[in-house]
Every structure is written in structure tokens, then in C-alpha cells.
Chains A and B, each alone.
Chain A
Amino acid sequence: MSEEARPAIIELTDVVKEYRTDAGPFRALDGVSLRIDAGELVAIVGRSGSGKSTLLNIVTAIDRATSGSVVVAGTELGGLAERQTPRWRGTTVGVIFQFFQLLPTLTILENVILPMDFAGRGSARERRERALGLLESVGLADQAGKLPLSTSGGQQQRAAIARALANDPPLLVADEPTGNLDSATAEAVFSLFRELAASGKTVVMVTHDSELANRTERAIRMVDGRVVDDGRGGSATA
């Protein structure tokens, strides 16, 4: 497949991110340029502190770049007002966290409905049906009525993935989604990502698990805020 056939969903050009710290400015991203196309499954790897989370935060408009251009799903994020970011994110990116981060007082089903609620999407009944469908697709239909803390880690993470898909965003971003899961469960979550990518979603995941990274079509390696290797995952190293 030629690269031109697929439109870019993420385009970073010379992105720099500096944090202000007590010891002076700290450069967490140091001139990152990157292009990720729609439908790709990309792993980002690197040591702790190399800037992986910072990169994801900038892509999801959770944080802002100090300089450089960030275009995600056709939107130049630098031009997005702070007030507009939650709305934009709600419909454009699904975010998945290491610690699942489901709201403890809402059921699994209600957690999945929540983004639709905030986005003001559909009627109450449509939201519910869509959420049930998403839970079905991640194999959690039977857990819908439970509170998150009464389910297992793998189930919570799959619920979090269903939540990330709630508003049908083109892009899924996950920061160490399998970091807190045993390998069998991690495997299940990873296959879910693969299926999602196959169905046309773009999935970007940060992972420590080099075995998983090797099985993605593309792995980006970061060192000290720089991209040092951008290879075709399994094919690049195998």
C-alpha cells in the first residue's frame, strides 16, 4: 500500500516542549517531526522520562507545544482556544490511560455513555444502545451494570477502550494501556487494538512491552525527547 493513499491524521513539525521547573526550563520534546496516517497502529517506545507521555499529551491537546506545528485530524492545535479543546478531544480522540481511570461511582455502562453525554450526542436511548453495542464488541456486555471496582483490571481496561470509542473518534491514543495488566489480558487488549486499526481507526500506544511493540506495523523509539528510530515494527527489527 502506498503512503499517499492514506491521509495523514497526525502531523508534527519541529515540535518542542519545554517545562518550567525550579531548576530552569526543561526540554521534554526536542524538535519532533512525525507523520501518522489514518488506520495505522503505532507503538511508541523508549525509556521512562524520554518524552512519550508528553508527546501523547500534545497530540491529544491535553498539553500545548512550546513551538512547532501540531495538526491532528485536520485541526491545527495551536489555533485551538483552550475552551474548545475538550469538545474537540471528545469527538476526535479517544484517550486510554494506564490506570483505566473509570469513574468509580458510575457503572461500566454509564462510564461509556459519559463522553456522549458531554458531547451532547443522540438521545438518551441511542446513547445507551450505542454504549451497549461497544461493550458487546469488547466482550463486556455482561458486565455493563457493574461498578468498575468490582471488575478485573482487564475488564476495566476494555471498558476504558469502549469509552474511548464512545463518540466514534478516528484516533485512539493509549498511554501504557497494558502496563497494569498480566500478559494474557494484555494480549487481549492488544488484539482489540489490532482489530480497531484494521477497521480504520488510528491507534497510537505507548508501551514498555517490546514484544508488543515488535508486533505493531510501526514502532517509534524516543530518547531524551527526540525520535531516534521510526521503523516498521515487526518487519524493522525482525
Chain B
Amino acid sequence: MIGVRWRKVLRDLTHLRSRTILVVASIAIGVVAVGTTTGARSALDRSLADAYRLAQSSSFAVYTAEPFDPELVEPIRRIRGVEVAEGRRTVSVRIRTGETWRDLQLTAIPDWEDQHVDALLPHVGAWPPDRGELLLERSTGTLADLPVGSGARIELPDGREEEIRIAGLAWEPGASPAYYFGRLSGYVTFETLADLGFDERFQEVRVRAADAAAIGPVTIRALADAVRLRLERAGHPVTFILQPPAGSHPAQELLDAVFVILGGLGALSLVVSGFLVANTIGVVLTQQTRQIGVMKAVGAARGAVALLYLGLVAAYALLALAIAIPAAMLLGFLLSGFVASLVNLDAPGLTLEPAALLLMLGVGLLVPLAAGIVPVVRGTGVTVQAALRYTGVAETYGHGLLDRLVAALRGLPRPALLALRNTFRRKGRLLLTLAALAFGSAVAMTLFSVRDGLRREMTETFSYFAFNVRVDLARPVRSEAAIAAVERVPGVTAVEGWQYGSALRLRPDGSESGTLPIFGLPAEVRTVRPRVEQGRWLLPDEGRALVATTNLLRDEPDLRIGDQVRLKIRGRTADWTLVGLIRSPTMEPTLYMSDRSLGEMTGALGRTSMVAIQAQLPPGGTDADLAVAARAALEEAGIDVTGTSTLGDIAKTVGTLFDTLILIITAMAFLLGIVGALGLAGTMTMNVVERSREIGILRAVGAGDRAIIQVVLAEGLAIGFLAWAVGALLAIPLAMLLAGAIGEALLQRPLPASPSVLGFALWLGVVLFLATVGSLLPAWRASRLPVREILAYE
């Protein structure tokens, strides 16, 4: 049988139901926030690791200008340091979805059952696909409506159309999801590819270096060069080498940014929760002042009473955990499933992550006890005499500077004056309430500011793209011919032929950089608007001048404006002067030089393989229409097109990243709003309950319902406004911190964040609304209590 005193604890728990609910909810909020975010994080980490393991990612892929015989892969496998090498063939076709055509990368896989690099896994439907059938990458569904089991028309580079059946979905765990590059991916057998008019030769080789994670990018690069040499000696010029960062999944960067947000939010929610708990427990103790006095009068030592109330807090904490653990499990499941779907990972199941469980138990018990210890120690320190004299009407007022300041306020309506004085009377309570609300407000306003920052970043990034459509040509053609063909399309205001290639930097210390894409642009380019951040843009008729995106400095930190940069392009080496750095429009570090400079190096002088088109669209016209017209015009002129991309496609690529983050942030701000409402309503209820006796006195001296409601409401609004103001001040540095961290994770540079005026205004509205709702209910309840009952209230 448990002692009578513990029975009191249990009874208080069930008897003071609304208080119990409030405290439990306050604790649960923090625990759920922490549990959900850590749970989702560890589940996603595992999903990502699983995907990375399944992916068997290549260390690099080497693409040739023309197809080569499969036998050539064997000698590549024998190169020292090569662990696995597999040949593949990827062709660009178009597929019809509804009324529009979309580009589709069709990859033929030689051996479906025995893959060792860049693995493709079965997901839904056929495996492997039959002749005349196609499997789509599963994330393609986010971009295009192509149901499994249906037939689809594809258009081949020479203009022929063929029917193909979508036999299922496959998952390429190491690939970026479709929307990342706005590109659909499909997979066929070599048999099917032959039926479509291609032969069974390879055009790329994917290689994994032995011990890839350990040997570092420079060694891998050297290995890639050996593979390139081997292919070129066999008469197959290499057009491109793709060497992704070794050792991590491509989704890692986005997930890191998401984790930064989630971690920050979890921690901040915990702080808010701590303040709410401290406040509510403080009120519970104040309300029990007399009972504490009585227990001491009948022989309870202070320690025993304190232990009793800490027991009460522990009971609250256990109740909160009982609710929070399953809730966090479920929310973590939903959140990780959502994020996994965004980055094409397998959704983690409904699991209880040990890390999350441990953290929840620790946080769920420690935070309430820590938050409760001050009010408990203080509350139980009351002397019997003071406790019994305690009437529920505060006895100290008018001492502090604040009190006198507030007292000096005159000319306000009487209820407002009383409310203001009430607000400032319990300074400890006011501080706790304010802290909780201000923190919540700060987080919400931080989120708004970061969201604005992301939006602004997105707009500025897009301002780089001044073309509507970009057309990739099957092979380089004379620039004038291509431009002349496209210029005939109605509405076109500018056409430019770009050169495209790749370069390696030969560093002063003799090492080589990774592969860098390089654009050769015409003098006075119009189809892109580079934003110069340092130095200047290219000048017409300038010799060997070079511009780079700022994110190149991440890999090549020694570069300065004016430096000579030695580049190896197509096997030839020359020096360029770095004249400027521009804002990076994509995540990939990129180089720019004049089309003439690049043409001289690649031997494609005067020819182009990429046409950028800017147009004034007719009313109702779309970029997609323009793409169709441009392709038709080029093909009419005998120029083969491998693909077109519209600004919309590109925007989607870049935008999805930002949109994902913005979506998560908005959802979090919304959740926080609910938490804030709960906290404020709870605090207001507590404050009113605590002063029931005073309200009774007010009523006894003739205050009507309206007057009482006004007093309480005005107090709520005063607290709400103060919390907003303090929160706004806090939000400014917080937003800079969070934006900085997100920027580092996502863009490798801090994201600028300035206060979101709209967000701040919006949040003021939300806070005042919450304050009204949170105080109206208790005010109404207080106005309902009969005077006699209030005065007898304990």
C-alpha cells in the first residue's frame, strides 16, 4: 500500500484535470518535437545508408563521342585500381505525356540479374522488362503521369515515333531523384534498344575504384584518366567524365539542410516546453500554498513536501512520455516518409528509433524536473504562517521600478490600467510566460525570415537564366546555321550558340582538380545574366580570360582574381587569367570563357552544340511551345536535336530543392502556432485561476462581467504584444544563424536572411488572436463564478 501522501499526489493528478492536461501537454510538446526530429533523422540516415549501400555507386563514369564495342570493357577492368567496370548505353529520346513531349534518358543495361555498379533495383511490375518494354525510374512519377501497364509513344532522335509499353518501375538508389534535374529516366534491354534502331554497343563505362572511399578524389581522377586513355587509344574520343563526390549519396546535402532545420526546431521547442512547464508547475504550487502549509503544520519537513511535488512532476512527465512516445513515433514516421519520398529514398517504416527513445526519456524526465525544481523549492519554502495567511491576493506590489512605472501610466481606461498592473505584478510568472511565448514567436518569425531568404535566393538564382529554351544538339554544327534556323521562329528575340566542354585545373602543386563543366559564350551574351560578385564579366575580343562561379572556391580555395589558371581541355593545356567570380546559378562549380577561346581548345571553332533561345512569348504561349517550334525549325534545317529544356524545367530543378525546404519550414511554423496557442491559453487560464479570489473581490465591489472580461483580455493582449516584441528581437539573430547553417549545408555559403516584414506582421496578428482566444475563455469562466465561491476558493 502506498503512503497516504502519495495518494494525494495521484488524486491531485486526476482531480486537477485541466492543470494536469496543461502540464502534460507542455511537457509532451517538447518531447514530441525532439523525438520526432531525432527519430526521423536516424530513420532517414539509415534509409540513406541503405540506399547508398544498395546503389554500389560508381566512382566515375566515362562517356565517349561514339559507341564502342563491349569487348573494350574487359581491358578496362584489368587496369590497376579498377574494382568494377560496366558498359552501358544511354540515349536521349522524347516521350509523350498527355499533350506534351518530355525528354527521356533511356539507359540500356547489359545484365539485369548481375549488376555491380550504379545498381538498378526492381520496384513495381516486370523485371527485367520484355522486348518492347520500358521500366521508368520510380521518382519519374513526380514529374510525369505515365501509368504502369500503359503504352506510350516515344520519339527517336531521327524523328521516328515508336510505341513502347511501360512495364513497371525500377529504383536507382544512387541516383538523384527525377525532379532534381527535371529529367525522366527509363531503362530497357539492349534488345529493345536495337529494335529502336540503335546497335548493341556501349557509349559509357561506369567504374568503381577499389577502396574508393579511402583513396581520395585525386587518385580516382588519375584512374579515370587511365580509363580515358585506354578508350582513346582504341579510337574512342572521350567527351565527358563524371566524377561525383565520393563516399556520400547525392541526397546527403539536401538532407543535411533538412536536419539542420529539424534539429534547430527540436531544440527550440524544448526550450519553449521548459518554460511552459516551469510556469505551469509554478502555478500549481502557488495554488497549493495552503495545502503545503497544512502539511508542514502537521509535521511534514520541507524536503518531504518538495519530494512530494517533485513526485507529482515526475508523474506528469511519465504521463507526457506515455503520450509523446507513440505520437513522436507516428509523426516521425510521417515526416521521414515525406522527406524520403522527396529524395527518392525508401520510406523508413514505423519504428521506434533507440536514439530517439533514449533522448525522449532523458529529455522528458529531466526537462520537467529541471524546470520544476525552482518552483518546487520556492513553493515548499513557504512558512506555515505565510501559507495559512495566503489569501490568493498578492501581497507585494508597488516596490519595483517597473511597478512604479506602470503605476505612473495614467489616462488609460480603468480596466486597461488594472490589467497592465496585473500583468506586471507577478514578475516571475510574467517572465516565464513571456519567455515561452517570446521563444515560440522568435522561432516562428525566424522561420518566416529564412523562408523569405530562400525565396529571394531562388529569385536571384533564376534571374541568371535569361533564355526561355535551351536545345542540345546531337553533334556540333556551324553556329550561324543553327542561329539562322531558330531566328525564323516567331517571337524569338535572341538566339545564341554556346560551346560546352569540360576542363581540369592543373594546380600549382601539380595535382588536378575534378572535372569542371565549362561554357564558351558569345561576346556580350544575352541569354544568361551572370551576377558578378568579384572582378568583372568577360569582355569582347579578350584573349584568354576566365570567369568562374563562386562555389568553385570551395574546391579551389587558393584562387584569386588576376591569377593565372592552368586548364587542361581535351588533352591540351593552356593558361587563363581569372577576371571574375559570379554567383553560382546551380550547385555545380562552373567555368566561363569566350566561345572563341573554348572553340580553339576543342577544335570546334565557329561551331555550337547548345542553342539558347530567348523569346517574347505570344499570349497564351508557353516555353514548351517554343521548344517544339525551335526543334522543328532546327530539324528542318537538317540539324539533329537530342533534347530541349525549358526554363520551367530548370526552375523546377532548382526550385524543388528550395520548395522542399520552404514546405517543411511552413509546416513547422504552423505546428509551432498550435503549440503557441496551447501555451498561451494555458498560461492565461493559470493566471486567471490563480487570481480567482481577486476577481471575486472585483465582483464583490461591483465589477460587471464586461469589466472583468476586459481586464483579463487586456492582460492577455499586453502579454501577447510583449512576447511578440521580444520574439521579434530574438528572431533577427536566430534567422541569421539558421539561414547560415542551411546555406552552408545546401549552397556552401551562408544564405542571407533579413527580417521578413510580412512574416513579422502576420505573426503579430497570430499572437494577438491567440492572446484573445487564450484569455477570453478563462475570463468568461471567471465571470461565471459566483462571488461566494470565488472567495472561498482554494
Using known A-B contacts A105-B15, A106-B7, A124-B1, determine if residue A118 contacts B383 with beta carbons closer than 8 Å.
no
Does B300 sit within 8 A of A, measured CB to CB? yes
**C-alpha spacing A95/B293, complex, angstroms:** 12
Using known A-B contacts A86-B296, A118-B299, determine if residue A63 contacts B385 with beta carbons closer than 8 Å.
yes
Does A163 sit within 8 A of B, measured CB to CB? yes
Interface string of B3-29 (1 = CB under 8 A from A): 111011001100100000000000000
**C-alpha spacing A63/B388, complex, angstroms:** 12
Q: Is A106's CB under 8 angstroms from B294's CB?
A: no
Q: Is A106's CB under 8 angstroms from B299's CB?
A: no
Instruction: Tell me, rounded to whole Å, the shortest Cβ–Cβ distance linking B203 to chain A.
Output: 81
Q: Which of A90, A97, A119 contacts B388 (CB 8 A)?
A: A97
Does B656 sit within 8 A of A, measured CB to CB? no
**C-alpha spacing A97/B300, complex, angstroms:** 17
Interface string of B294-310 (1 = CB under 8 A from A): 11111111101000000
Interface string of B643-662 (1 = CB under 8 A from A): 00000000000000000000
Contacts of B8 in A (CB 8 A): 103, 105-106, 110, 114
Q: What is the interface size of chain B, counting residues whose CB is below 8 A from a CB of the partner? A: 27
Q: Is A118's CB under 8 angstroms from B7's CB?
A: no
Q: Which of A96-119 contact B (CB under 8 A)?
A: 97, 101-106, 110, 113-115, 117-119
Does B290 sit within 8 A of A, measured CB to CB? yes
Q: Is B294's CB under 8 angstroms from A83's CB?
A: no
Q: Is A115's CB under 8 angstroms from B794's CB?
A: no
Instruction: Tell me, rounded to whole Å, the shortest Cβ–Cβ distance linking A50 to chain B.
Output: 17
Q: Is A62's CB under 8 angstroms from B12's CB?
A: no
Contacts of A113 in B (CB 8 A): 4
Q: Which of B277-331 contact A (CB under 8 A)?
A: 290-291, 293-302, 304
Instruction: Tell me, rounded to whole Å, the shortest Cβ–Cβ distance linking A190 to chain B.
Output: 22
The chain B residue with its CB closest to the CB of A105 is B11
Does A155 sit within 8 A of B, measured CB to CB? no
Interface string of A81-98 (1 = CB under 8 A from B): 001001101110001010
Instruction: Tell me, rounded to whole Å, the shortest Cβ–Cβ distance linking A131 to chain B.
Output: 9
Q: Is A118's CB under 8 angstroms from B384's CB?
A: no
Q: Is B298's CB under 8 angstroms from A105's CB?
A: no
Contacts of A102 in B (CB 8 A): 294
Does A167 sit within 8 A of B, measured CB to CB? yes
Q: Is B301's CB under 8 angstroms from A114's CB?
A: no
Q: Is B302's CB under 8 angstroms from A110's CB?
A: no
Q: Is A118's CB under 8 angstroms from B298's CB?
A: yes
**C-alpha spacing A96/B8, complex, angstroms:** 20
Q: Is B297's CB under 8 angstroms from A89's CB?
A: yes
Q: Is B385's CB under 8 angstroms from A118's CB?
A: no
Q: Is A87's CB under 8 angstroms from B4's CB?
A: no
Contacts of A110 in B (CB 8 A): 4, 7-8
Q: Which of B7, B290, B299 contacts A115 (CB 8 A)?
A: B299
Instruction: Tell me, rounded to whole Å, the shortest Cβ–Cβ distance linking A199 to chain B.
Output: 21
Q: Is A114's CB under 8 angstroms from B297's CB?
A: no
Majority SS of interface residues in chain A?
helix
Contacts of A119 in B (CB 8 A): 299
Contacts of B297 in A (CB 8 A): 60, 62, 89, 95, 97, 101
Majority SS of interface residues in chain B?
helix
Q: Is A118's CB under 8 angstroms from B294's CB?
A: no
Contacts of B291 in A (CB 8 A): 103-104
Q: What is the interface size of chain A, counting residues whose CB is below 8 A from a CB of the partner? A: 31
Instruction: Tell me, rounded to whole Å, the shortest Cβ–Cβ distance linking B738 to chain A.
Output: 46
Q: Is B385's CB under 8 angstroms from A91's CB?
A: no
Q: Is B385's CB under 8 angstroms from A106's CB?
A: no
Does A69 sit within 8 A of B, measured CB to CB? no
Instruction: Tell me, rounded to whole Å, the shortest Cβ–Cβ distance linking A14 to chain B.
Output: 22
Q: Is B11's CB under 8 angstroms from A106's CB?
A: yes
The chain B residue with its CB closest to the CB of A112 is B4
Using known A-B contacts A110-B7, A114-B4, determine if residue A101 contacts B301 with beta carbons closer than 8 Å.
no
Using known A-B contacts A95-B297, A101-B290, A103-B291, determine if residue A118 contacts B302 with beta carbons closer than 8 Å.
no
Does A57 sit within 8 A of B, measured CB to CB? yes
Instruction: Tell me, rounded to whole Å, the shortest Cβ–Cβ distance linking B110 to chain A.
Output: 77
The chain B residue with its CB closest to the CB of A95 is B297
Q: Is B1's CB under 8 angstroms from A163's CB?
A: no
Q: Is A86's CB under 8 angstroms from B301's CB?
A: yes
Q: Is A90's CB under 8 angstroms from B15's CB?
A: no
Q: Is B4's CB under 8 angstroms from A106's CB?
A: yes
Contacts of A114 in B (CB 8 A): 4-5, 8, 295, 298
Interface string of B248-273 (1 = CB under 8 A from A): 00000000000000000000000000
**C-alpha spacing A127/B3, complex, angstroms:** 10
Q: Is B298's CB under 8 angstroms from A163's CB?
A: yes
Contacts of B299 in A (CB 8 A): 86-87, 89-91, 115, 118-119, 167
Using known A-B contacts A87-B301, A103-B294, determine if residue A62 contacts B7 with beta carbons closer than 8 Å.
no
**C-alpha spacing A75/B8, complex, angstroms:** 32
Contacts of B1 in A (CB 8 A): 124
Using known A-B contacts A103-B291, A104-B794, A117-B4, determine if residue A86 contacts B11 with beta carbons closer than 8 Å.
no
Q: Is B12's CB under 8 angstroms from A105's CB?
A: yes
Contacts of B385 in A (CB 8 A): 57, 62-63
Contacts of A95 in B (CB 8 A): 297-298
**C-alpha spacing A95/B291, complex, angstroms:** 14
The chain B residue with its CB closest to the CB of A110 is B4
Instruction: Tell me, rounded to whole Å, the shortest Cβ–Cβ distance linking B167 to chain A.
Output: 69
Q: Is A83's CB under 8 angstroms from B3's CB?
A: no
Interface string of A127-143 (1 = CB under 8 A from B): 10000000000000000
Q: Is B388's CB under 8 angstroms from A101's CB?
A: yes
Interface string of B365-386 (1 = CB under 8 A from A): 0000000000000000001110
The chain A residue with its CB closest to the CB of B304 is A118
Q: Which of A62, A90, A101, A115 contacts B383 (CB 8 A)?
A: A62
Q: Is A90's CB under 8 angstroms from B298's CB?
A: yes
Contacts of B302 in A (CB 8 A): 83, 86
Interface string of A149-170 (1 = CB under 8 A from B): 0000000000000011011000
Instruction: Tell me, rounded to whole Å, the shortest Cβ–Cβ distance linking B656 to chain A.
Output: 57
- Can you list 12 A-B contacts with CB-CB less than 8 angstroms, sorted by A residue number? A83-B302, A86-B299, A89-B297, A89-B299, A90-B300, A101-B293, A103-B295, A110-B7, A110-B8, A114-B298, A118-B298, A167-B299
Known contacts A95-B298, A106-B8; 11 additional CB pairs below 8 A are: A57-B385, A60-B297, A86-B300, A86-B302, A103-B294, A114-B5, A114-B295, A115-B299, A118-B300, A124-B3, A167-B299
Using CB atoms and an 8 Å cutoff, list the residues of chain A in contact with chain B. Answer: 57, 60, 62-63, 83, 86-87, 89-91, 95, 97, 101-106, 110, 113-115, 117-119, 124, 127, 163-164, 166-167
